[in-house]
Structure 1
Amino acid sequence: MDPVMVEIGPLAIRWYGVLLTLAIFLGYELARRRLMAWGWDLEPFERVVFWAVVFGVVGARLGYVLTSPGYFLENPLEALYIWHGGLSFHGAILGGALTFYYFHRRRGYPLWPYLDAATPGVALGIIAGRIGNLMNGSDTVGRLTTLPIGFTWPEWAKGFPGVCPGIDDISQIYQCAELVRGPVHLTQVYGAVVGLILLFLSLYWLRKRPFYGYAFWQFVLWYSVLRSVLEEPFRLNPLWLPVYRNDELGIGLFTATQVVSLPLVLLSLYMLRRLGKGEAAGR
């Protein structure tokens, strides 16, 4: 589509940045209200949340860069151009969670209540990021497909380079000539749907909340599952474990995200069991 929302002289305000900023502020307000309802002191949370956002963004960008090392080694400055899109939400979750953990260990701030309260904001960030990807055009591109759901970008759509961005895997090259106008999986929308599902689930988990940490680890678990099933197979990403690829349907297994998701699913199940046992023992 068109990456630029509005231009003011030489300044270009991009959809990606605007949407993520809105998601951060709305997510902060939702977390703040949730913590108030639970009776937690907001002052420590307000001290740490800024740094959680900063290191969440750093982790998100670093995670994305690590999935395309060849491209960023040749174009190192591109790693700083975050407004071009390209964020790993696994990296964002890790960066933000480690920040909360640092302040928990260093200053004794609550850990699991803060992480639980932040989950709807992360879901909003996923939705905003994927809509921003859609506006950028060349972000999180889908594979060519002959399925009826294949989407052909209109001629007026902007944001497409002449070649595929970040190519460092032979499995991607075959699509470059047709990528711009061929029918592709609209994976930006698939990803936004994943975020929307997680938003509603997060609100449900927060209401249910049998113990602190429940919503956070459920989020990590189901984000890993939903992303791996509903989005990643259809994205034009390098296959770290090339187990299966169907060029006609536009499906590929397994990408870096899918490989990383398996241990995260196992870790989430372990932590849910561990925290649940701790809660039961304390009753």
Structure 2
Amino acid sequence: MAAANPSANPKPGAPEAVLTSRCFGGTQYVFRHRSETTGTDMRFAAFVPPQGETGKRPVVWFLAGLTCTEENFTVKAGAQRVAAELGLVLIAPDTSPRGEDVPDDPDGAYDFGLGAGFYLDATQPPWARHYRMESYIIRELPEVVAGAVPADMTRQGIMGHSMGGHGALTLALRHPGRFASVSAFAPIASPMNCPWGEKALGAYLGADRAAWRAHDACALIEDGARLRALLVDQGTADGFLQNQLKPDLLEAACAKAGIPLTLRRQEGYDHSYFFIASFVEDHLRWHARALSAAAS
């Protein structure tokens, strides 16, 4: 089975490969397609390991953080070498819809609007028209990916960083059974209880804090959602640790719910991709073990 067969004249909505590069015996792609969900053109990166040339391979999604695109993880994390060894397909979507008619933060701030979709479906105008990142990642994009690369959609894991860590946790909690493995780097553990999250949830979902609970990992766990296990790395020198990330809240919620949490506080590490690159191999091996078990 070929790693991918991008059409020179793709059908409307079909993915078009805008980058194809050989990488560790596999292939790194960046695709562009028209999304019916967001009403915009969207991009996503896909790494196909060498094993993808002979059959479908398990998938690990990576959701990036504020200000990022599909490029950050793809270029900075150094994940392809390990993914090639383990036979994992890596998918990195963009973090928000984009385009001339897509609204942005009215003050031009980095923590809302473009690059800050928070992996939910907005319900409030003007955001509700395009900001539908949960439906895009859970419903539309998997079908697009499955048609573009040899991805085994019966075996999926998900991980993310910061806002994307929040996304990985909440999407896994909100869609039980979809992901066999979940991990995060410095996730926003409880957006209801931090400035980034209060701003985003308030604007996207409205003033009723009860509606926010469905997009807060700690609240979801308190309300009965469960994960089989969870791996989280958090740098102790992260400048956002106390005010925005608050891993202690996640630790307490998991302990009360009986969710096996491996929370590793990494001494001296910050919030950057240097931190992610230092521990991404551990996370990919964590996912590979779980996805292998899911196949048996």
TM-score of the aligned structures, taking structure 1 as reference length: 0.32
The structure richer in helix per residue is: 1
Higher Cα Rg, which structure:
1
TM-score of the aligned structures, taking structure 2 as reference length: 0.31
The structure richer in strand per residue is: 2
Using CA pairs under 8 Å that are at least 6 residues apart, name the structure with larger relative contact order, 1 or 2. Answer: 1
